[in-house]
């Protein structure tokens, strides 16, 4: 998105201020690109996102504005770059992912590419059961579910949108660490729940089902995902030595 805007002479390093609504990974990517290229970066992020995300963004020099998740999106959408920018979708075109819904760029771009290579491929979206496109309620799956349909979201590319509860996503993320040695975030847990749900359907026996883990667990250390372990670690006492 930044490279395309530069080519079109829409933005200039040192002069343009980039403003972006985010829930995590996109904001971090924008922040380090802005730092590298010399832009001032202003990020707005809902208050339920983890402390690790905030620290990482600020480490890259971004100005961070934390918003009320029930009200902040209205203000964020007055300054959009991601939710209506088709190049956010194109940036995901050459990657193989399946596929949560936030801005809709990834599921739309990847879905369109895969369909162009094999029309029989089925694409499934994933969103929080508590915050689907219709109700927009609160949830714990950071980086997923904005509660409305962004303009760049291509609904036609998807076979179906699967809903995963925050509780199931958290439980799966914990299992992946304990059973598979994969330190992933809650959104990765949600993707895995959805993929396994499809894999267990009799009609899908023998079929290849692919998903991704777009979130790393270290960005969730201050979240509900590791709350019990965090409290346990904080209360550990030195072992006495005779």
CA distance 44 to 67: 7
List of the chain residues with pLDDT < 70: 69-105, 131-152, 154
Q: How many distinct helices (H) and strands (E) make up the chain?
A: 9, 5
Instruction: Tokens for 102, please give them.
Output: 């936030």
**pLDDT value at residue 155:** 74
Q: Give the 3-state secondary structure of residue 177.
A: helix
Confidence (pTM): 0.70
**pLDDT value at residue 40:** 93
* Burial grade of 172 (CB within 10 A; 0-12, 13-18, 19 or more): buried
CA distance 95 to 9: 27
**pLDDT value at residue 239:** 85
How far CA 77 is from CA of 47, 123, 125, 206, 211, in Å, comes to 16, 27, 22, 43, 29
Domains of the chain: 2-82 (3.40.50.1100), 89-225 (3.40.50.1100)
């Amino acid at each position: 998105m930044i490279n395309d805007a530069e080519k079109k002479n829409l933005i200039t390093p040192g002069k343009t201020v980039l403003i972006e609504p985010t829930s995590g990974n996109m904001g971090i990517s924008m922040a380090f690109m802005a730092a590298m290229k010399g832009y001032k970066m202003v990020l707005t992020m809902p208050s339920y996102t983890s402390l690790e995300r905030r620290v990482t963004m600020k480490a890259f020099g971004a100005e961070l504005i934390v918003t009320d998740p029930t009200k902040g999106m209205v203000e964020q959408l007055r300054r959009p770059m991601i939710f209506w920018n088709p190049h956010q979708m194109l940036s995901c075109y050459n990657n193989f992912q399946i596929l949560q819904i936030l801005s809709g760029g990834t599921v739309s771009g990847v879905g369109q590419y895969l369909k162009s290579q094999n029309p029989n491929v089925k694409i499934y979206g994933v969103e929080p059961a508590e915050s689907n496109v219709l109700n927009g309620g609160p949830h714990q799956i950071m980086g997923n579910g904005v509660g409305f349909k962004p303009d760049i979201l291509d609904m036609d590319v998807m076979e179906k949108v699967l809903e995963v509860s925050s509780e199931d996503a958290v439980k799966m993320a914990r299992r992946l660490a304990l059973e598979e040695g994969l330190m992933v975030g809650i959104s990765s847990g949600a993707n895995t729940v959805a993929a396994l749900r499809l894999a267990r359907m009799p009609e899908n026996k023998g079929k290849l089902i692919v998903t991704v883990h777009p979130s790393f667990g270290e960005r969730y250390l201050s979240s509900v995902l590791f709350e019990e372990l965090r409290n346990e670690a904080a209360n550990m006492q030195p072992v006495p030595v005779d």
